[in-house]
Amino acid sequence: MSEKTIVTGRGWQLPLFVILLCGSLIVALSFGVRSAFGLFMVPISGELGWGREVFALSIALQNLLWGVGQPFAGALADRYGPMRVILGGAILYAAGVFIMSVSTTPLLFHLSTGILIGFGLSGTGFSIVLAAVGKVVAPEKRSWALGIVTAAGSFGQFAMVPLGQSFLSAYGWQTAVLILGFTSLAMLPLAAAFRGVGERGLGGPVSAQSLGEALREASRHKGFLLLTAGFFVCGFHVAFIAAHLPSFVIDRGLDPRIGAWALGLVGLFNIIGSYSAGVLGGKYSKKYLLSTLYVLRSAIIVLFISFPMTEMTVLMFAAAMGLLWLSTVPLTSGIVAQVFGPKYMSMLTGIVFFSHQIGSFLGVWGGGYLYDTTGSYNVVWYCSIALGIFAGIVHWPIDERPLARLSPAKA
């Protein structure tokens, strides 16, 4: 059998490129549709008479519940396979977007945009798909494959944000959201690519380790705790910028389309950044790459807020930040698989991702709250700079060597 043909289980055989393509499309849709939500903050808040905190709280809840559900979705994927989890997540996701399109009260908006889409993302987001890909790709190609799938999420952002702005301008926010809901349904048939994906993975033995043993092992590993703490910062950065950059641009008197194109440009350049991070992660130390990425984020934010804002500076900021946007994802998930093995990769990555989503919650909600109370995003930008430096420090001492039980002798 060709090494490019993957047996995912129960006789189900697919070429590697098909698995990567389907996984990439799922992530592109899941991440791309939600990336467009920031465009709707001003029109929805204005039409319905809400302050920005109402919209921001819904997106913050979405991020938080995405994180809360992620370890449980990961454990289910490790036990029953990712296909079922992706299907369930896609149904919740689409239902949330459809209800969002008819939400006219804060409570219904929180239920749809916050709760349903949040839990839907738990089953369709990076942690589930990356872990599924990581289990069927040979270890020497794992970082490269994770980079490809992560880059696809960025392509989804690049494609869906300008489309979302076009729909918004042409049809109004309710119809635009409805179109995004129908788009998200495409995730359902794509889930079939992961039918029968099990715990074995390629290039390694079946581990006899139990779920409880895996949790105890990770909780005692200093590197896992540091990785979890550092990923909090990634969530704070990307969620705050994705949700509030379009409004920040409007506040500075620029055309709303600049905010949309900025988010699209973030996605475009992160295609390069995520793929490059995956390739570099297969050759160099992932922890040092992560430290460098976070410090560079802080430096870029300092430059962005230090100069007068123009269309050019916004787009330059977006391009520079895009190179670092989701580049942390293949490196972070790659460390989890490298240190602990693929068997419980979905669950362990989900725990790390929960920290990411706590950061996302605080970045989105804190941005809205501080804007409403101070009339400015300055405090949040300063916090983002300090957190980037913090993340650069905590990744440095991580021990990314595989555990002794994964050595050939132990196997």
Does some domain include residue 337?
Answer: yes
Exposure string of 316-332, with b = 16+ CB inside 10 Å and e = fewer, is bbbbbbbbbbbbbbbbb
Rounded to an integer, the average pLDDT of 348-357 is 87
Q: Would you say residue 3 has pLDDT above 80?
A: no
pLDDT, average across residues 178-193? 91
pLDDT computed for residue 8 by the predictor: 54
199 — pLDDT class (breaks 50, 70, 90) = very low
The verdict on residue 402 lying in a domain is yes
- Whether residue 9 is contained in a domain is answered as no
- Given a contact cutoff of 8 angstroms between Cβ atoms, the answer to whether 42 and 256 are in contact is yes
- 193 phi and psi, to 5 degrees? -60, -20
Domain-embedded: residue 6 = no
3 is a domain residue = no
Residue 11 resides in a domain: no
Proportion of the chain above pLDDT 90, given as a percent: 29
33: in domain: yes
Q: What confidence score (pLDDT) does residue 132 get?
A: 83
- The residue segments making up the domain with residue 136 are 17-200+210-406
CATH label of the domain that carries residue 53: 1.20.1250.20
Task: Answer yes or no: is pLDDT of 163 > 60.
Answer: yes
Predicted TM-score (pTM) of the model is: 0.75
* CA pair distance 153, 352, nearest whole angstrom: 19
Q: What is the spatial distance between Cα 318 and Cα 273, in angstroms, rounded to a whole number?
A: 13
CA 110 to CA 55: how far, in whole Å? 8
What would the pLDDT profile of 226-266 be if each residue is shown by its tens digit? 999 999 999 999 889 988 888 888 888 888 788 878 887 88
pLDDT at 5 over 70: no
Taking CA atoms, 8 is separated from 211, 241, 345, in Å, by 21, 38, 16
Evaluate whether residue 353 is within a structural domain. Answer: yes
In DSSP terms, 13 is beta-bridged to: 7
Q: What is the tally of structural domains in the chain? A: 1
